[in-house]
Structures are given as C-alpha cells and as structure tokens.
Amino acid sequence: MNINMIETGMLGENCYVLMKDGQALVIDPGDDFPKIQSAYQGKKVLGILITHHHFDHVGALEQVKKDTNAKVFEYENLEEKQYQMGPFTFEVVFTKGHSKDSVTYYFKEYDCMFVGDFLFQNSIGRMDLEGGSESDMRKSLELIKKFPQDTILYPGHGPMTTLKQERKYNPFLQ
C-alpha cells in the first residue's frame, strides 16, 4: 500500500490518499481539492474515511464525493469492527476526546493508524472545542496503548510517529 500525504488548508491539515492495485481510499479531504484530486487521479476511489468533522478535515469532502461517487465512512455510519474494501482491510476504533465523533482507522496488515486530531507527535488533540471531553480522551488513550508498539501513527496535523515513540515521549501516554 502506498500512502500519499497532502498538506491542505491554512491549518496544515494532513489528508491521506492510500493506493493499492489501482484503487484508493481518501482520508480527511480537508481542503485544496485540486491537490487531493491529483493524488488519486487515475485510481478508483473506493471510500472516503473521515476521522472527525471539524472544518479543516472535511473542507473538500463534498467535492471529492461528487468527483468519485465514493462512499463516506464516518462516525455516524460505522461500527467498531473490521471493514474490507477492495484490497484494503481496516479496523474502526472510536477514539473520542478531541471530538465526540473521533474515529481512528487501523490497518493491521501495514501496522499503521490514521488518528486524526486524537493524537499527535508528543501531544494530543485539544479537548476544549464543542464535543471535546477529557474523560473520553483518557479512555481513548488507554485503549490505544493496547495496540502493537511499532504501529505507525498518521495524525491530522504534523509529522507521523509511532506508538512506541509516543509511549516514551508523549506525557499523555505515560
């Protein structure tokens, strides 16, 4: 699986386009539709995965949806279970705290997670916005610790990291 990260919008949101066997998934189409579109050009987009509905993560959602006719996967229509879409298999993990609709997508085969604004390198997402919850965040952080330590974390902003790195340096995961 190839992972293409596209930084979008004035807040530097990370949109990800996952590609394999001529097919693609788009994760958090934040803004800059032409940049996102060029990343999946020539691929069949099977789905659009949303980690949460803050404006900087869904700004180009309607354009990508219209352009690809792909199904949108978001908190409201998901269960915590494994999904199979073409060559992609992922597990949905609800990671509330930053928002009430925060979702993490875990690709076990590739040992990677797309965590949105739930977790960042050496930090976590803010909880003071509407729908944020410190108690939910604590539960989500405990849940995430149970995954393999070598899991690569792809956040909604900033550089990727690993769960091992975060367990060592992130004060919220110690």
**What band does 166 get if pLDDT is binned at 50, 70 and 90?**
very high
What does the block give as tokens for 93? Answer: 């993990």
Task: Specify the pLDDT at position 6.
Answer: 97
* pLDDT value at residue 174: 87
Averaged pLDDT for residues 121-140: 95
Short-list 35, 16, 11, 45, CA closest to 152: 16
- The answer to whether the beta carbons of residues 166 and 145 sit under 8 Å apart is no
The helix-helix angle for 33-40 and 61-68 (nearest 10°) equals: 40
Can you list the positions of beta strands (E) in the chain? 2-8, 13-20, 23-27, 44-49, 71-73, 82-85, 88-94, 103-107, 112-116, 119-120, 123-124, 152-155, 161-162
129 or 61: which leads in pLDDT: 61
pLDDT band of 105, cuts 50, 70, 90 = very high
Domain that holds residue 142: 2-173
Q: How many domains does the chain have?
A: 1
Is 98 a residue whose pLDDT tops 90?
A: yes
Residues 7-29 have pLDDT tens digits of 999 999 999 999 999 999 999 99
Range 144-165 average pLDDT: 97
Q: Is 28 exposed, middle or buried (0-12, 13-18, 19+ CB in 10 A)?
A: buried
Measure the CA–CA gap between 150 and 55, rounded to whole angstroms.
31
The residues near 151 (Cβ < 8 Å, ≥ 6 apart) are 106, 111, 112, 113, 162, 163
Distance separating alpha carbons of residues 68 and 40, to the nearest angstrom:
10
- Residue 121: give its domain's CATH number: 3.60.15.10
Residues 90 and 84: their CA atoms lie apart, in Å, by 7
Rounded mean pLDDT, 112-125? 97
In this predicted structure, the answer to whether residue 65 has a pLDDT above a threshold of 90 is yes
The answer to whether the beta carbons of residues 101 and 53 sit under 8 Å apart is yes
- pLDDT for 9 equals 93
- Residue 33: CA count within 13 A, CB half-sphere: 11
